[in-house]
Amino acid sequence: MDPHFPSGIIPQEFTALKSEQHVSSKSKLVSLSPFLDEHGIVRAGGWIERDGIPFCSRHPIVLSPDHDFTRLIVMNCHEGPKHEGVDHVRNELRQQYWILRCRATVRKILHQCYYCRRRKAKPVPPMMARLPYDRLQIAPAFSKVGVDFFGPLKVKHLRKEEKRYGCLFTCMVTRAVHLAVAFSLSTDSFVMCLRRFIARGGKPTVMYSNNETNFVGANRELREYINY
């Protein structure tokens, strides 16, 4: 065998070819009609003998599926054309090599590709938090609400476009919705939306919101007004 070719890459069943013996009839490799070339490399036989076809395509090198050198060859064919799939890699390999159990071997090696695993990974949805206590209580509509802003929405005012925001009040019991128009994201604009909401739906007992500056500022101003 060629000393420059990695040892152990050829299956042990082919050692009989060196001594000009026949491969066992029970071997799965008999159908390949293997032979040793002039460099001592095991190649697969075949019916194609045209001169226009390269020798390596007519008689590909037989490789063991479990050798590290086989893995390097598969990864080279995989990473070269931008991480293609199993069928594309198999077609590239078949032009020069014949890997035993080729599809299963290529699929196993490509499954270990770090880049492909990241590219094909599906995001895991986070577990939904438990419902707040007020969502499960029987109460009048809009007595327990959640509030948030959405937008901006562009509106036509005279000859220019201006931004408007929507203030969304959601009843936590009946899931009813109240919408109010806000001229900005300031604290004063939210306080005016809250006053219009109270005038229409009544004063809520509980209100949930995030920590946006307009909600925090409105909470501070309302507490100062109540304590005044």
Q: What is the pLDDT of residues 85-119, one digit of tens each?
A: 788 888 888 788 888 888 888 888 888 888 888 88
Do 37 and 89 reside in the same domain of the chain? yes
**pLDDT greater than 50 at residue 130:** yes
43: CATH? 1.10.340.70
* 138 and 85 in a common domain: no
Residue 29 lies in a domain: yes
List pLDDT tens digits, range 141-199.
899 999 999 988 998 888 888 899 999 999 998 889 999 999 998 999 999 999 999 99
Query: Contact 65/90 with Cβ under 8 angstroms?
Result: no
103 in a domain, yes or no? Answer: yes
Residue 22 has pLDDT above 70, yes or no: no
Q: Are residues 59 and 147 in the same domain?
A: no
Mark which of 96, 119, 142 sits at the end of a domain: 119
Residues 102 and 189 in one domain: no
Question: Using CA atoms, how far apart are residues 100 and 41, in angstroms rounded to an integer?
Answer: 15
Specify the pLDDT at position 23: 53
The answer to the question of residue 125 being in a domain is: no
> Among 68, 88, 119, which residue terminates a domain?
119
Q: What integer is the mean pLDDT of 46-58?
A: 69
Residue 102's nearest CA partner among 113, 91, 117, 114 is 91
Q: Are residues 24 and 47 in the same domain?
A: yes
Q: Edge-to-edge, what's the strand order for the sheet holding 177-182?
A: 177-182, 160-171, 144-157, 206-208
Q: Is residue 217 part of a domain?
A: yes
Check residue 202 and give left, alpha or beta (phi > 0: left; psi -120 to 50: alpha): left
The pTM for the full model equals: 0.48
- Tell how far CA 91 is from the center of its chain: 26
Which of 142, 147, 145, 179 lies closest to 164 in space, CA to CA? 179
176 and 199 within one domain: yes
Distance in angstroms (rounded) separating the CA atoms of residues 226 and 23: 96
CA distance 20 to 42: 13
Q: What does the pLDDT average to over 78-83? A: 77
Query: Contact, 39 vs 56, CB < 8 A?
Result: no
Instruction: Indicate whether 7 belongs to any domain.
Output: no
Which residue range(s) make up the domain with 80?
A: 12-119
Residues 54 and 142 both lie in one domain:
no
Name the domain count of the chain. 2
Same domain, 221 and 139: yes
Q: Distance between CA 193 and CA 219 in Å, rounded? A: 14
Q: Say if residue 102 is in the same domain as residue 161.
A: no
Question: Cα separation of 27 and 41, whole Å?
Answer: 19
Instruction: Give yes or no for residue 13 having a pLDDT over 60.
Output: no
**Does residue 196 belong to any structural domain of this protein?**
yes
Q: Are residues 18 and 44 in the same domain?
A: yes
Rounded to whole angstroms, the maximal C-alpha distance in the chain is 106
Q: What CATH number did the domain enclosing 211 receive? A: 3.30.420.10
> How far out from the chain centre does Cα 63 lie?
33
Phi and psi at 77, nearest 5°, equal -70, -25
Residue with tokens 């995001």: 123
| ∠ CA 105-108-112, rounded to 5° | 140
In a domain, 146, yes or no: yes
Where is the domain boundary, 86, 119, 152?
Answer: 119
68, 107: one domain? yes
The confidence band for 20, taking pLDDT boundaries of 50, 70 and 90, is very low
Residue 193 and residue 152 share a domain: yes
CA gap 113, 82 in Å, rounded: 12
